[in-house]
Amino acid sequence: MSNWLYLHARAIAHALHRLLGQPVGTVLSALVVGIALSLPGGGYLLLDNVASLARGVSGTPEISVFLDTKARKADADAIEIRLRALPELASYRFVARDEALEQLAASGLGDVLGGLDGNPLPDAFVLTPRGEDPAAFERLAADIGSWPRVVHVQLDSAWVKRLQALLVLGRSAVLMLAGLLGFALVIVTFNTIRLQILTQRQEIEVSRLLGATDPFIRRPFYWFGGLQGALGGLVALGTVWFGVQALGQPVARLAETYGAVFSLSGPDWRAALAIVAFAAFLGWLGAVIAVRRHLAGA
């Protein structure tokens, strides 16, 4: 185990020496990887912020449950007991028919309501479900609609469906972009490692004559590709962070004009680690392909 760690530590030191020995090429490669990865990374961050803003502006979807106009207080109490036992509900409130009539009158329909005989409005419950799954909302509404004395259930989840569809579309587009750019970054690392192998052909031959094994020769190239990719991931994080800082104040001022309080949030440590790890993997993958393709003939 100690010998294995020593060999990898030596390979890392050799790869770092190569990276530091060509600072211009290292910086340019890191910038290429970082700028390319900042596009899908920033896209995912933008989708998360847009989803958070949309939820804050649109509010939580509600389910309106209308009772039979002949329903009595005992019927409403029985329904309230059943609603209280539902774990899918975050909250609910009862709207009496007289209260609903007063709200309609206050909205400017007093003249129209004055010509009616009695109060045509039923008692109702306004429910706030938990979660954000439109399918779960529909199942809950269908279940409540089958209860006695419930004549109509209205589900206000159209905006949730649209939001979910837009987010799915956006995430799919970002994944496609990440895949295409990732493939391009693998090609960049492939060419970099290929040039390394070609320029060190004689050194590799001498190492083999001295008894160096293929894993010993390949290991520094693998670490070179991985470290180069990780540097690009750090550049991507810096680019995304700079974008958040640059757009934070304009976005906050725009939200204020709509009476909302909103600020852009940057990637958390999990997202940051995922970006760096993905970039390192792309660099390692390009190195593996280049080594297996060209090192055998070196």
Is 205 found in the same domain as 189? yes
Averaged pLDDT in 10-residue chunks for the chain of 298 residues: 75 84 85 88 81 60 86 89 90 86 66 62 88 80 90 77 78 87 87 82 76 80 91 92 85 73 78 90 90 69
Task: Select from 239, 230, 206, 174 the least CA-distant residue to 35.
Answer: 239
* Residue 39 structural domain: 2-57+169-297
Q: How far is CA 107 from CA 17, 121, 297, in A?
A: 75, 15, 83
Which phi and psi (to 5°) does residue 8 adopt?
-70, -40
Identify the pLDDT of residue 112: 55
Give the Cα separation of 258 and 272 in Å (integer): 31
Residue 102 has a pLDDT of 76
Residue 164, domain member (yes or no) = no
In single-letter form, the type of residue at position 157 comes to S
- What is the domain count for the chain? 2
* 93 and 133 assigned to the same domain: yes
Q: Rounded to whole angstroms, how far apart are CA atoms 217 and 157? A: 60
| 41 lies in the same domain as 66 | no
Which pLDDT does position 195 carry in this prediction? 83
Residue 227 CA neighbour count, 13 Å, CB half: 19
Distance CA 210, CA 213 (A): 9
**DSSP class of 122:** P
Q: What are phi and psi of 78, to 5 degrees?
A: -65, -40
Single out the residue in 127, 156, 185 at which a domain terminates: 156
Question: What is the model's pLDDT at position 109?
Answer: 58
Of 60, 107, 81, 53, the C-alpha closest to 262 is 53
Q: What is the pLDDT of residue 160?
A: 64
The CATH number assigned to the domain holding 146 equals 3.30.70.3040
Please tell me whether residues 88 and 192 are part of one structural domain: no
Query: Does some domain include residue 106?
Result: yes
Please state, in angstroms and rounded to a whole number, the distance separating the CA atoms of residues 1 and 55.
Answer: 52
Q: pTM of the prediction?
A: 0.65
User: Residues in the chain, how many?
Assistant: 298
